[in-house]
Amino acid sequence: MRLAAFTAPGRFWRGNLHTHSDRSDGALPPEEVCRRYRAEGYDFMALTDHFVGRYGYPIIDTVPFRSDGFTTLLGAELHSGPMLNGELWHILAVGLPPDFAPGHAPDFAVHPGMETGPEIAARAVAAGAFVAIAHPQWSGLTLSDARTITAAHAVEIYNHGCAIGCDRPDGFAIADLLLTEGRRLSVIATDDAHFTEPDHFGGWVMVKATENTPEALLAALKAGEFYSSQGPELRNVEIVGDEIRVESSAVVSMIVQGQGTAARAVHGASMTRSHMELERFAASPWLRVTVIDAAGRRAWSNPIWR
């Protein structure tokens, strides 16, 4: 049993799915944001400015900034609500059509007549977008909140901007609890770059697709044919009998996580092949893998359903 990212045809493309420009609260114009990601060796990115009336409900046309070897996905960070803490939802939607209809979100406050978070997420999925629950820890998201977003494809499990700006980068607790309840979600790492602090080039997805086009990338994202990283490469993740086998760039730790307290680690020096018996995970219907390199940078697999 191999993860889809390592059986799908094509090659891996590096991309950032969460980015802001001066069309909302970022520091740089869209063309400069795209230029910087292209210059840093990214194959694609999505500009996801805040979809509220204060900024004119922007879905930025980044098509003019595409070039040979670099593409862009249209998107936005959608807001509606409220969540249980009284604040607006933050929902990442990548692959939106340019004419996606605004909801009633004039600003970041709660207003009567707003769509719920689940409603705007479902509307984005119906419009063709890849949808993720953004930065759960930063948002103060509860499990009860997360359960209501039944249309989402993914949970943002690492947000580099939240790591740099407030030390709240994590989405694993919410993701793992949803997985344990049977939700077949993928997990993504992103920048959430605003370029107002060193919040960029710190977390990305590696998407397996036959070509670097919006259509192929979106199809692969929705199918879970990718992994997430801060630097290390995952080259294979598979279960053979009662053992999990992982191939990667050089790492010092390979950790397998499952339902509840099920977790084990293997440590070593410059490991490129790791394996582990799965007796500890006999009762877990899902597994996921983390590898950590000598600099402390991580890469994360999508869940494997057994």
Q: Read out DSSP for 150-211? A: TT-SEEEEEEHHHHHHHS--B-HHHHHHHHHTT---EEEEE--B-SSSS-SSS-EEEEEESS
Tens digit of pLDDT per residue, the chain (306 long)?
899 999 999 999 999 999 999 999 999 999 999 999 999 999 999 999 999 999 999 999 999 999 999 999 999 999 998 999 999 999 999 999 999 999 899 999 999 999 999 999 999 999 999 999 999 999 999 999 999 999 999 999 999 999 999 999 999 999 999 999 999 999 999 999 999 999 999 999 999 999 999 999 999 999 999 999 999 999 999 999 999 999 999 999 999 999 999 999 999 999 999 999 999 999 999 999 999 999 999 999 999 998
Long-range contacts (CB closer than 8 Å, 24 or more residues apart) made by 62-70: 62/30, 62/34, 64/31, 65/30, 65/31, 65/34, 65/35, 67/38, 69/43, 69/212, 70/34, 70/37, 70/38, 70/42, 70/43, 70/44, 70/212
CB 191 within 8 A of CB 199: yes
Closest CA to 2 of 229, 261, 287: 287
Residue 289's pLDDT is 98
* pTM exceeding 0.95: yes
Residue 141's pLDDT is 97
Residue 1's pLDDT is 87
Domains identified in the chain and CATH numbers: 4-229 (3.20.20.140), 234-305 (2.60.40)
The secondary element (H helix, E strand) that includes residue 219 is helix 214-223
Looking from the CA of 35 toward its CB, the CA atoms found within 13 Å total: 5
Q: List, in sequence order, the alpha helices (H) in 68-127.
A: 117-126
The rounded percent of the chain whose pLDDT value lies above 70 is 100
What whole-number distance in Å separates Cα of residue 1 and Cα of residue 16? 28
DSSP annotation of 31: H
